[in-house]
Structure 1
Amino acid sequence: MAATVQITFDAHDPGALAQFWAQVLGYELDPPPPGFATWDEALEAWGVPPERRNDRSALSDPDGAGPRLFFQRVPEGKTAKNRVHLDVRAAPGLTGEDRMAVLEARCADLVALGARRLTRFEPDAMDAGWIVMQDPEGNEFCLD
């Protein structure tokens, strides 16, 4: 049996970070369990106090192709560069200035959502070019 992958993000605000990544990737928040109209209704029924209801959030690819993303509240902040990061494939198949123009436009969209631009890497003989960014909580990712 093949394994599936879930990508987990440590976060200060799981709900907000999940909303950011939902917009970036076109993912959807996981629905509440059967029998509940909303997550608040489910959490209330389970006795979860209001101050703990943003401890976790999860997203799934509506097409079922991509991995599930899980966001969990942690007390500590990010202290170093990520050892693993996401590549957001914004310009597959494009090269040169056409590729970089698409990446720049997507970069501007993501900055408007709360991301931060770090570095642009120009196309060369070995690489197609990409832009390094951070999500609203400082996790690095690349526009590729």
Structure 2
Amino acid sequence: MTKVNSPISLSSLNQVISRSLLVTFLALIGVLCGLAPNLSSRSPNLILSSAALAQSSISDDEVRRYTQAAYTIEIRRLAVVEEMARRNLPVPDNTCAAGGNVPAALKDFCEFSRQTIEANQLSVGRFQQIRNAVQSDPTLKQRVDAELRRLR
């Protein structure tokens, strides 16, 4: 019997999965809180300039506070999703903006997310700016990943 060598090591696969989960988590937070990108008629150059400015002005302290908030929210999100799965309840796509048909646990989660962001001295808007910057700036993503490893 011949042994097949895999071109992907377990550690690199773990990194890819970890990063994918982080990006998915951050996107989900925005969706759960009913937050969406601003699709205005501004020119693409202006939007890119604003994104570059937001990325370059993210301090190490903001990275620390952002990562702490995101990590805390993710732990709660996993618990809420697990509880809903145990009860066979569906999870709406846009929880915080879904109106009256949202289970109380999800409404509580949205409020918990907002409070967690604010407890880490960020506004929801600034949290979103950093989240968007993390998705488009590999250097910033590395900074967040390093802080996330420190938190674990």
Q: How high is the TM-score relative to the length of structure 2?
A: 0.30
Greater fraction of residues in helix: 2
User: Relative contact order (alpha carbons < 8 A, sep ≥ 6): 1 or 2 greater?
Assistant: 2
Q: How high is the TM-score relative to the length of structure 1?
A: 0.32
